[in-house]
Structure 1
Amino acid sequence: MARGMTEDLNAISTDIYEDAIHSDNGEMVDLLAHTRDPVAIHGAGNVTVFGLSNKFDTDFPSALTGKVAPEEYNETIQRVNSVLKKTLPVNVKWLFCGCLCCCCTLGCSLWPVVCLSKRTRRALEKLLDWENSHLYTKLGIKWSLSKQRCDNSAMIEYVLLIEFVPRLQIHRPD
């Protein structure tokens, strides 16, 4: 009886070790820790206000093939671009007015642009949260708005970051 129980325990432990891999220094690493690199969608517009471009690229990234339908991707990008189309022209007008009056107001005339830019970012984050909760979480994907440094300069830009969330295996014992 004890021998059968030991064989069962050994079978369980080998199943667990089959789902783990060895790192370079010999430590066991769980496969859930290894996910694909996120996909960054950069701004494709001709106007950028405080790092936020007036539209994002609508080309379907090849890294999303098999994860998301191109139609769903295009609808999400169109929703994001429509939010930017509504809000960024107002931001540009306030930026222009703020720059004209900057010397007289000691820079205080730029505060409305900063607040409007923050409001635009929050609207985009709210839209992406809605998209995640209604569609993309089920597919194992998470969209977010993220700051990234531009490749060829010290400037910061906002990009849409698509992260692959590892699916937890609920049928396995703890």
Structure 2
Amino acid sequence: MASAAPPSRASYESDEIEQMSSASSEEVPLTLKKEPIVIKGIGHITLFGLNSRFDTEFPQTLIGRVAPEELSATLKRINLVLKRHVEVSGRWLACGLLLCCCSLGCSLWPVICLNRRAISALEKTLDYENHHLYHKLGLHWSLGRSNADSRLTEYVLLLDFIPKIPLLAPD
């Protein structure tokens, strides 16, 4: 009886090269990007699309990604920034509306500028939170616009998932 000789090392290497070339010719499946979590405003006052308060309820999709205490602390900071800016903007809006007829609408410019300042302060707060905690957890806060009606837009908080870079995928 003839015994079969074990395959040589060269045949193993050629098989591995064939497998690697066939794997590299196929496209590496990209991870599907998850839809961002949208946190809408629930406050009583909305000025130029910016609500006075955002919902602090913990979304179920974040279980295991971030602690509920950290998320609630972030949302409290955001709501504090909004509270300060919306109260001041509301007072200026009331004064601007009283003087609107006399100034031909120019008295509303301070309210528009204050709204831009509030959005800037909110984006700075979100940037601070991203750099100190959320980028390490694979999350990213941003301020986005949502169409509430056909003509009205409102600002919402978006919590995106940062896709992980596949380290073992070929270049």
TM-score of the aligned structures, taking structure 2 as reference length:
0.86
- Could you say if the C-alpha distance between residues 5 and 157 of structure 1 is closer, same or farther in structure 2, counting changes exceeding 3 Å? same
Structure 1 position 173, deviation (Å): 3.8
Match of 1:81 among 76, 79, 88: 79
Matched, 1:41 2:17: no
- 3-state DSSP of counterpart to 2:121: helix
Q: Deviations over 1:39-72 (max 9, x none)?
A: 1000010001111111100111112112111111
- Could you say if the C-alpha distance between residues 13 and 139 of structure 1 is closer, same or farther in structure 2, counting changes exceeding 3 Å? farther
Cα contact 2:28–2:169 (8 A) shared by 1: no
- 3-state DSSP of counterpart to 1:133: helix
2:108 corresponding residue in structure 1:
110
Any stretches of 5+ residues in structure 1 without a counterpart? Answer: 21-30
Match of 2:15 among 7, 13, 28: 7
- Please show how residues 2-81 of structure 1 align to structure 2 within 5 Å: 4-13=12-21, 15=23, 17=26, 19-20=28-29, 31-32=30-31, 34-81=32-79
Whole-Å Cα distance in 2 between the matches of residues 107 and 42 of structure 1? 30
2:157 corresponding residue in structure 1:
160
Which amino acid in structure 2 is aligned with residue 122 of structure 1? S
Whole-Å Cα distance in 2 between the matches of residues 12 and 73 of structure 1? 44
2:132 corresponding residue in structure 1:
134
Structure 1 position 9, deviation (Å): 3.0
> Which protein has the larger Cα radius of gyration, Structure 1 or Structure 2?
2
Aligned residues: 162
Structure 1 position 120, deviation (Å): 0.5
TM-score of the aligned structures, taking structure 1 as reference length:
0.85
Between the aligned residues of both structures, percent identity stands at 48
1:25 corresponding residue in structure 2:
none
Q: Which runs of 4+ in 1 moved over 3 A?
A: 1-6, 13-19
- 3-state DSSP of counterpart to 1:60: coil
Any stretches of 5+ residues in structure 2 without a counterpart? Answer: 1-8
Q: Deviations over 1:10-55 (max 9, x none)?
A: 33345554842xxxxxxxxxx23x1111110000100011111111
